[in-house]
Amino acid sequence: MDKQTLSRISTYTKTEILCSLAEKVCGNREWVFLKKPEKTMILLSVKEPVKQSIFYLGEMLAVHCIVELSGVRGTAVIKGDDFIKVEAAALLDAAHSGNFAEFTFIEPELLNLEEERQNECKKLSSSVKKTQVNFHVLEDREA
């Protein structure tokens, strides 16, 4: 599993589930905050498709946290203001970065959560697609 997948799973998983997975990974390991969870604002940007220039959508509230788990640094940024969730996500990131054996035991659970999320997205997409309207334009080409 790569970091991007782990981050996406952490973002969309419920706090309780993420905390229980972090507890499984941490076990009796020592960990400390390098940066306690705190609120921050993130500037959201997208690339405009025609000129390929950057377009700023606005700001988003997020929580940022850095931990150290058995000498390995983990970091997480989660949208919203869930301090507990960002702490669990940072611990999972540290376990992933440190290649801890406990992480390999919970990896199938994490991948299952990602698969469930993708299935929900597909269901939503298919229900929205049913409402799609196709427009046709009649043009006068003689002019």
Mean pLDDT score of the chain: 91
Contacts of 51-55 with C-beta under 8 Å, sequence gap 24+, read: none
Q: Which parts of the chain fold into alpha helices (H)? A: 3-12, 15-26, 83-97, 101-129
| Confidence band of 69 (pLDDT split at 50, 70, 90) | very high
Would you give the distance in Å from CA 59 to the centre of its chain?
Answer: 17
| Confidence band of 35 (pLDDT split at 50, 70, 90) | very high
| Confidence band of 143 (pLDDT split at 50, 70, 90) | low
pLDDT at residue 140 is higher than 80: no
pTM of the full predicted structure? 0.81
φ/ψ bin of 27: left (φ > 0), alpha (ψ from -120 to 50), beta (otherwise)? left
| Confidence band of 72 (pLDDT split at 50, 70, 90) | very high
